[in-house]
Amino acid sequence: MGAFRGCQAASKPPWQTRRCIVFGSRVQISCGVAFALLKNPNTGSTKRHYAFGLANRFYTEINTTIQMAKYKLEYLWLDGYEPVANIRGKTQVKEFKNFPKLEELPMWGFDGSSTRQAEGRSSDCMLKPVAVYPDSTKKNGVLVMCEVMQPDGKTPHVSNGRASIPDDPGAWFGFEQEYFLYQDGKPLGFPESGFPFPQGEYYTGVGYRNVGDIAREIVDTHLDLCLDAGINHEGINAEVAKGQWEFQIFGKGSKNAADQVWVARYLLLRLCEKYGVDVNFHCKPLGKDVDWNGSGMHANFSTTYMREVGGKEYFENLMAAFDKYKNEHIAVYGPDNHLRLTGLHETQSIDKFNYGVANRGASVRVPHSFVNNDYKGYLEDRRPNSQGDPYKIAGRILQTIQTVPTPAVKKAAKK
Ligand code: ADP
Ligand code: MN
Ligand code: MN
Ligand code: MN
C-alpha cells in the first residue's frame, strides 16, 4: 500500500465537501464533519475515522492513525532457578509509530511464584527493559531484554545478576559460547547406541559424516537471526565434539556483550524448537570419563586502562588479584566446572590459577599481541563454562579489576 497521499481538505474550509485519496479510500468532508475509510497497512483492517471541526486537525488525526503499528514486544528475563537460570519470555502488543526505543518501553510484571522468584501470596515481580533488538522472524517483532525488579520497580531482585555489574563504558567483553545440539538425549548425530568415530575431524569440519544434515542449517540460520537483531556476532565454528558448536559475541560496555549472549541463547533455543532439537549448555554433557570435549564460554576482556596504559607491573598485579579471588570467580563461572577444568582438554585444574602466553592449558591466556604491545590489550579467561551467566561473569571480572590500583592514570592524565 502506498504512503498517505495527502488530503486537500486540509487547506480548504471544513464545510466544503472534498474528495481525496487516502490509501485508495474516499474521504468525505462536509458541514464540518469528516470521515475517512482508512485501511491500516499493518493489520489490513479498515476503519471509519470521524473528525469534527477544523480540517487540519482531521489531517493530523488521520496522519497519526495510519502511522501507528502494533508491535509484538517479547519481554525476556532470567528466572530464579539455581544454579542455572532459564531465559523466559512473554509477549505484549503495543502501538508505536516507529520501532520502539528503549525509553518508550514500559515496565511490565509477571508471576514470580511460577519462576522461583516469589512466594504465591505476593507473587508480582517487575520487568525493567534494559536492551531492545528487532526480531526478524516476526512482523513488527521486538525482543526486549529485561532486568527483574522487586514490586517497587526500583530494587533489583536477588536473581538479577546484571544489576551488580559495575558500570564501565570502557569495558569490552568477547564471549565464546560453546554448546551441544541435542536430540533424543544425545548429541545431534550420535548413533542410537555407542559413539561416533572419535574426535579429530569434527572441529571446523565439513561433510555429512562430520556435521550431519541439519546442524549447519541451524547454526547458519541462528547467525542470520542474530545479525538481523543487531547482535554483534564475530563468528561461528563447529567444535571438537560431534554436535558441538560455538559462536562468539563482542560488545563494548560492561553489560552489552552479556545482554547479547542471553538474547543469542534465546534465539538459538527458540529456533531449535522447530527442528525437534534442544540446546545443551552443560559444560560436560558426556561426563568426564570419556574422551569427549566439554563446553566453555571463554571470556575475553579489556578495560580502557588495559588497552591504553597497561604495562607489565599492572598486568602482574591484575593476575595476582585474579589468583586471590579465584574461588569467587569459579563460584560464578558455571556449575559442574570441576568436571571440565581437569587439566586435560585444554584446561587448567579448577583449584589452580595460572596464566601463560598463548597457553591454552592456562586459566588466563595472554595473547602474543598483548606482550608484544607492552602488556596492553585484552586477556582471555578460559575458565567460565558454557552454562555460566555472562552477567555474573562480567560482574566478577570487573569487580576483581577494580581492586587493582591504576597508578599510571594520573601520570597519563597529566601528560
Ligand atoms: P580463540 O578461539 O582463539 O580463543 P576467538 O576468535 O574464538 O579466539 O575469540 C576471541 C575473542 O576475543 C572474540 O570474541 C573477540 O571479540 C574478543 N576480543 C578481541 N579483542 C578484544 C578486546 N580488546 N577486548 C575484549 N575482547 C576482545
Ligand atoms: Mn573460539
Ligand atoms: Mn572453542
Ligand atoms: Mn578462546
- Residue pLDDT tens, the chain, 415 long: 333 333 333 334 443 434 433 443 444 444 445 555 555 555 556 566 555 555 555 555 555 566 799 999 999 999 999 999 999 999 999 999 999 999 999 999 999 999 999 987 788 999 999 999 999 999 999 999 999 999 999 999 999 999 999 999 999 999 999 999 999 999 999 999 999 999 999 999 999 999 999 999 999 999 999 999 999 999 999 999 999 999 999 999 999 999 999 999 999 999 999 999 999 999 999 999 999 999 999 999 999 999 999 999 999 999 999 999 999 999 999 999 999 998 877 788 999 999 999 888 899 999 999 999 999 999 999 999 999 999 999 999 999 999 999 986 655 555 4
Cβ pair 29, 17 in contact under 8 A:
yes
What are the extents of the domains in the chain? Answer: 14-66, 70-149, 172-401
Can 70-149 and 172-401 be said to share one CATH topology?
Answer: no
From 212, 47, 225, 1, select the one nearest 133 (Cα to Cα): 225
Domain covering 70-149 assigned CATH 3.10.20.70 in the classification: yes
Cβ of 298 less than 6 Å from ligand 1: yes
Pick the CATH number of 172-401 from 3.40.50.920, 3.30.590.10, 1.10.940.10, 1.10.540.10: 3.30.590.10
| Ligand 1 pocket test, candidate residues 168, 176, 236, 240, most atoms within 8 A of CB | 176
Query: What Cα–Cα distance (Å) separates residue 370 from each residue in 31, 59, 252, 357?
Result: 78, 62, 19, 9
**Residue located nearest, by CA, to atom 11 of ligand 1:** 174
Q: 75 CA distance to ligand 2 centroid (A)?
A: 30
Residue at grid coordinates 586459566:
363
Q: Tell me the whole-structure pTM to 2 decimals.
A: 0.85
| Ligand 1 pocket test, candidate residues 248, 393, 398, most atoms within 8 A of CB | 248
| Ligand 1 pocket test, candidate residues 231, 250, 365, most atoms within 8 A of CB | 250
Query: What Cα–Cα distance (Å) separates residue 409 from each residue in 282, 346, 379?
Result: 41, 36, 20
Cβ of 250 less than 6 Å from ligand 1: yes
232 Rama sector, left if φ>0, alpha if ψ -120 to 50, beta otherwise: beta
- Give the C-alpha separation, 301 to 95, whole Å: 39
- Give the C-alpha separation, 141 to 346, whole Å: 41
Cβ of 378 less than 6 Å from ligand 1: yes
